[in-house]
């Protein structure tokens, strides 16, 4: 749910919740992630470009 610059995500299936606030100055969403009984700080940032996958191994050809 979004209320102004506040964001709340509730994941009932896993008993977790995120509550955060949009910071216009930094372009980030900062808040607290609560999985179960723990409380952890969490910040979402927009990347300037997409991060590519690093896959150094080469899979064998499919038969």
Residue 29 phi, psi dihedral angles, 5° rounding: -110, 115
| Helix, strand, coil % over all residues of the chain, rounded to 5 | 5, 50, 50
pTM higher than the cut 0.75:
no
pLDDT of residue 50: 73
CA 57 to chain CA mean position, Å = 28
pLDDT tens digits for range 7-56? 999 999 999 999 999 998 988 999 999 998 899 999 999 877 777 777 77
Helix (H, G, I), strand (E, B) or coil at 6: strand
């Amino acid at each position: 749910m979004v209320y102004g610059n506040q964001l709340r995500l509730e994941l009932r299936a896993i008993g977790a919740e995120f509550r955060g606030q949009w910071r216009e100055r930094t372009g980030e969403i900062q808040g607290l992630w609560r999985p179960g009984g723990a409380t952890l700080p969490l910040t979402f940032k927009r990347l300037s470009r997409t991060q590519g996958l690093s896959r150094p191994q080469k899979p064998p050809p499919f038969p």
